[in-house]
């Protein structure tokens, strides 16, 4: 079996980090936090309430892609949290060595707003949610991935992800 990278994706507040870490733990893989790979200028811009544009995102996405490729070279599958909002961003991530699959976390907008308003310790302000929702392009039928409604605790979402990603005999 080859190296596989699962990219847990979606807008801010969907639970990418929580679900991604739990999925990595369950699968015995390292977890890569995409937010931790943002250049300082991106973090400053978002912290100031300014949405990123493509000029901001491309260098960051290349870093994420290159991290996955480095793990492939070491023979290591990963789970990655990365918004991957647009198809062209996912196309770039798919350039990484190894199989790249996506898990889109689907959370109703009202729930997202509530989560973001009440979370602490994150630099992304609630004001940027609308720009992310407007940017999000759902997975297309030809993209290797699954869309998961986020209902209940993270463990249930992880169970659903594993069921959806596992080939049936």
Cα(107)–Cα(28) distance, rounded to whole angstroms?
26
The per-residue pLDDT for range 31-40, each reduced to its tens digit, is 999 989 999 9
Structure tokens given for 77: 């599958």
Cα(60)–Cα(54) distance, rounded to whole angstroms?
10
Residue 110 pLDDT: 79
Torsion, CA 57, CA 60, CA 65, CA 67, rounded to 10: -170
The per-residue pLDDT for range 68-121, each reduced to its tens digit, is 999 999 999 999 999 999 999 999 999 999 999 999 999 888 788 776 666 555
Residue 23 pLDDT: 97
Measured on CA atoms in the order 39, 41, 43, 45, is the torsion positive or negative? negative
The per-residue pLDDT for range 142-151, each reduced to its tens digit, is 999 999 999 8
Cα(67)–Cα(81) distance, rounded to whole angstroms?
12
Residue 169 pLDDT: 44
The end-to-end CA distance of the chain, in Å, is: 16
CA distances from 92 to 68, 97, 100, 102, 120 (A): 12, 11, 10, 13, 31
As a whole-number percent, the residues of the chain with pLDDT over 70 amount to: 91
Query: Residue 158 — pLDDT band, cuts 50, 70, 90?
Result: very high
Instruction: Please compute, for residue 147, the number of CA atoms within 13 A of its CA located in the half-sphere on the CB side.
Output: 11
**Residue 122 confidence (pLDDT) above 60:** no
């Amino acid at each position: 079996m080859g190296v596989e990278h699962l990219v847990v994706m979606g807008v801010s507040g969907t639970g990418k980090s929580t679900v991604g870490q739990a999925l990595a733990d369950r699968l015995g893989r390292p977890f890569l936090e995409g937010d931790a790979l943002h250049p300082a200028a991106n973090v400053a811009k978002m912290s100031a309430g300014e949405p990123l544009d493509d000029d901001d995102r491309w260098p960051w996405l290349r870093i994420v892609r290159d991290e996955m490729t480095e793990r492939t070279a070491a023979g290591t599958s990963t789970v990655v949290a990365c918004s991957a909002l647009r198809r062209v961003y996912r196309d770039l991530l798919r350039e990484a060595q190894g199989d790249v699959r996506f898990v889109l976390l689907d959370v109703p907008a009202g729930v997202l707003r509530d989560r973001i308003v009440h979370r602490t310790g994150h630099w992304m302000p609630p004001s940027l949610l609308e720009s992310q929702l407007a940017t999000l392009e759902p997975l297309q039928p030809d993209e290797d991935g699954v869309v998961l409604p986020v209902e209940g605790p993270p463990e249930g979402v992880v169970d659903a992800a594993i069921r959806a990603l596992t080939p049936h005999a």
